[in-house]
């Protein structure tokens, strides 16, 4: 591995570690191991990614990725984060662009799904991190309460639940789905 003069790791180091089975993120050159979050988490990610795909792919609006793909959001020292789902528009990343490294285009929309061991402050901190990096919209999904917190820069967070639709706003115009499409079998 090639570490910086201060002993910090680089995005290239993380990519090599990932190839050898390490799962995690890099925060200002420091490894943060992540663990699988369980089946419910995976089902929600899969269902929401499916709903987004029905909207994004036919219209060729951009790229959808799920966790493990990683986004390089800061250099010197490097920070690589992995959203549970990321939508990146064609304006930020042309269609067909295949990368064997981490994307440097921050997704327009980031979806994070809460894990059972997340702290109470984690959703706001994680969402703020994505917004500061350049995301336009963050959905933070709470499986326990079957609700989604919606974050935008310079706007108050709103929570949707029950019969309220999940709306793509100006990031994904005309995208909408019911929360039952995400949480129910």
pLDDT tens string, the chain, 185 residues long: the values are 444 445 899 999 999 998 888 888 999 999 998 877 888 999 999 999 999 999 999 999 999 998 878 999 999 999 999 999 999 999 999 888 777 888 999 999 999 999 877 888 888 999 999 999 999 999 999 999 999 999 999 899 999 999 899 999 999 999 999 999 999 86
Q: Name the nearest CA neighbour of 138 among 165, 118, 163, 158.
A: 158
Residue-level pLDDT at 185: 66
Residue-level pLDDT at 1: 46
Helix or strand (DSSP H, E) at 57: helix 39-59
Rounded to an integer, what is the distance from CA 183 to the centroid of its chain? 18
Instruction: Give the predicted TM-score (pTM) of the model.
Output: 0.90
Q: Domain ranges for the chain, please list them.
A: 37-183
Report the distance separating Cα 150 and Cα 114, nearest Å: 13
Helix or strand (DSSP H, E) at 62: strand 62-66
Residue-level pLDDT at 170: 95
Fold of 37-183: tt1808, chain A (3.90.1570)
């Amino acid at each position: 591995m090639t570490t910086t003069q201060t002993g910090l790791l680089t995005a290239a180091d993380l990519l090599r570690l990932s190839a050898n089975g390490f799962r995690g993120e890099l925060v200002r050159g420091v490894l943060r191991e992540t663990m699988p979050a369980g089946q419910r988490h995976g089902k929600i990610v899969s269902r929401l990614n499916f709903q987004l795909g029905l909207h994004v792919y036919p219209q060729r609006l951009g790229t959808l990725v799920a966790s493990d793909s990683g986004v390089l959001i800061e250099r010197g020292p490097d920070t690589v984060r992995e959203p549970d789902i990321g939508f990146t528009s064609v304006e930020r990343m042309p269609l067909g662009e295949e990368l064997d490294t981490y994307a440097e285009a921050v997704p327009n929309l980031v979806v994070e799904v809460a894990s059972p061991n997340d702290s109470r402050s984690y959703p706001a901190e994680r969402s703020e991190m994505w917004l500061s990096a350049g995301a336009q919209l963050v959905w933070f999904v709470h499986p326990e309460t079957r609700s989604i917190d919606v974050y935008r820069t310079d706007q108050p967070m709103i929570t949707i639940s029950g019969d309220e639709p999940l709306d793509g706003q100006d990031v994904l115009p005309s995208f909408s789905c019911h929360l039952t499409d995400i949480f129910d079998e």
